[in-house]
């Protein structure tokens, strides 16, 4: 199959590496210096150093020529870059099955990625999301990984999962597009909370409680948006939450660790050098929770800290001061 990966950040590069052994892959980037570096050194030294791009992966900067031969498009931009990329496809009249790997709610609109796709390209385009417990570095290194693929067509999700499945990247078809997207989005917010928890030295008990109650928040919001509860017990829910909240490669967890040190958000983002989706998703999650009447105290506390309304220490104190209650999902 001919695949074009749109976006040569860490995830785009990792997916190009992962699928190159089985498919004809083109990696598109808008940055000419990144393209030149990839062609000459076969390494993305700006966004993803240390991982070699296979020789059979073509690198392109011209959008039209990159997508023309593609049988499948993989959009590997941050959530903020999804709509602009889709708009280019729309303006150029490109209609191809597509899959995205961004995880978040669109800032300002609160839309999930599949809603953005439907708005820009219409509901008839075969499309879906690839999500689950997966660090780009480990995927590129060929370490065993399992993720979920949900789409607007059950047949498409199963076919795409079969085609993209490799010996090291195990892909499970899923029929709950909303649930997979919500799990991937909200876990980034909770990973910031986990980083704060670890950074303040609150202990393993506190982290376990955070993950458990955080998973309940994900499920409550997901169900309010039409997702299936069981989805959050799988790869795109519990699996992704555990990885992102405990793994040292998690950008969002690193944001939380830095917040616990008392660093400002602008300083943290500058030092990080990459997009941490939870930073932008937290506000949308808190807003949606309020509009839908969904109880999400941890997510709302993260949003308050990021907005400068309270410190990390104060947020923890407020959470611990909540009235006792019967445990319920």
Which DSSP string do the residues of 131-145 spell out, in sequence order?
Answer: ESS--HHHHHTT--E
- Overall average pLDDT of the 210-214 stretch: 96
pTM of the model: 0.95
Does residue 325 surpass a pLDDT of 80?
Answer: no
Buried b (16+ CB within 10 A) or exposed e, 240-252: bbebbbeeeebbb
Q: CATH 3.40.50.720 in the chain, residues?
A: 2-175
Does residue 218 surpass a pLDDT of 70?
Answer: yes
Distance CA 227, CA 250 (A): 25
Distance of CA 184 to the CA centre of its chain: 6
Each residue of 84-141: pLDDT tens digit?
999 999 999 999 999 999 999 999 999 999 999 999 999 999 999 999 999 999 999 9
Catalogue the E-assigned strands of the chain: 2-6, 24-28, 43-44, 48-52, 58-60, 72-75, 98-100, 127-131, 145-151, 169-174
Each residue of 34-45: pLDDT tens digit?
999 999 999 999
pLDDT of residue 322: 81
Distance CA 106, CA 93 (A): 24
142 dihedral zone (left: phi>0; alpha: psi -120 to 50; beta):
left
Buried b (16+ CB within 10 A) or exposed e, 184-213: bbbbbbbbbbbbbbbbbebeeebbeebbeb
Does residue 326 surpass a pLDDT of 80?
Answer: no
- Overall average pLDDT of the 142-153 stretch: 98
Distance CA 202, CA 84 (A): 41
Model confidence at 205, pLDDT cuts 50, 70, 90, reads very high
Distance CA 286, CA 294 (A): 9
Classify domain 2-175 at the CATH class level: alpha beta
- Overall average pLDDT of the 163-181 stretch: 97
CATH number of the 185-320 domain:
1.10.1040.10
What percent of the chain has a predicted confidence (pLDDT) above 70?
A: 99
Distance CA 19, CA 40 (A): 21
Under 8 Å between Cβ of 47 and 78: no
Does residue 214 surpass a pLDDT of 70?
Answer: yes
- Overall average pLDDT of the 205-213 stretch: 95
Q: Mind telling me the catalytic residues?
A: 187
Does residue 328 surpass a pLDDT of 80?
Answer: no
- Overall average pLDDT of the 41-53 stretch: 96
Distance CA 95, CA 92 (A): 9
Q: How far is CA 261 from CA 166, 195, 283, 318, in A?
A: 41, 10, 22, 19
Q: Apex CA 86: angle with CA 229 and CA 72, to 5°?
A: 75
Q: Give 62-77 as a DSSP string.
A: -HHHHHTT-SEEEE-S
- Overall average pLDDT of the 227-252 stretch: 97
Under 8 Å between Cβ of 43 and 50: yes
Q: Determine the 3-state secondary structure of 104 from DSSP.
A: coil
- Overall average pLDDT of the 272-287 stretch: 93
Distance CA 278, CA 13 (A): 21
Q: CATH 1.10.1040.10 in the chain, residues?
A: 185-320
Q: Which of these, 303, 100, 308, lies nearest to 217 by C-alpha position?
A: 303
Model confidence at 56, pLDDT cuts 50, 70, 90, reads very high
Model confidence at 329, pLDDT cuts 50, 70, 90, reads low
Under 8 Å between Cβ of 160 and 1: no
What percent of the chain has a predicted confidence (pLDDT) above 90?
A: 95
């Amino acid at each position: 199959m001919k695949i074009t990966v749109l976006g040569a950040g860490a995830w785009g590069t990792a997916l190009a590496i992962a699928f190159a052994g089985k498919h004809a892959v083109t990696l598109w980037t808008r940055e000419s210096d990144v393209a030149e570096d990839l062609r000459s050194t076969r390494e993305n030294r700006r966004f993803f150093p240390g991982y070699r791009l296979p020789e059979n992966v073509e690198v392109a900067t011209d959008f039209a020529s990159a997508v023309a031969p593609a049988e499948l498009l993989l959009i590997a931009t941050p959530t903020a870059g999804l709509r602009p990329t889709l708009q280019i496809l729309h303006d150029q009249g490109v209609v191809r099955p597509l899959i995205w790997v961004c995880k978040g709610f669109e800032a300002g609109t609160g839309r999930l990625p599949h809603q953005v796709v439907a708005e820009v390209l219409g509901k008839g385009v075969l499309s879906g999301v690839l999500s689950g417990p997966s660090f780009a570095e480990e995927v590129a290194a060929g370490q065993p990984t399992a993720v979920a693929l949900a789409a607007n067509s059950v047949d498409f999700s199963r076919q795409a999962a079969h085609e993209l499945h490799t010996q090291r990247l195990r892909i499970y078809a899923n029929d709950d597009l909303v649930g997979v997207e919500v799990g991937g989005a909200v876990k980034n917010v909770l990973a910031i909370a986990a980083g704060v928890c670890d950074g303040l030295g609150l202990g393993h008990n506190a982290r376990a409680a955070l993950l458990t109650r955080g998973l309940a928040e994900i499920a409550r919001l997901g169900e309010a948006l039409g997702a299936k509860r069981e989805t959050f017990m799988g790869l795109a829910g519990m699996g992704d939450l555990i990885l992102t909240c405990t793994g040292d490669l998690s950008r969002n967890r690193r944001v939380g660790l830095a917040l616990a040190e008392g660093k400002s958000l602008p300083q943290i983002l500058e030092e990080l050098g990459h997009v941490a989706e939870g930073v932008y998703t937290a506000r949308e999650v808190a807003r949606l929770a309020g509009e839908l009447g969904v109880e999400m105290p941890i997510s709302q506390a993260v949003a308050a800290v990021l907005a400068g309304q309270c410190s990390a220490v104060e947020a923890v104190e407020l959470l611990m001061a909540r009235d006792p209650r019967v445990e319920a999902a």
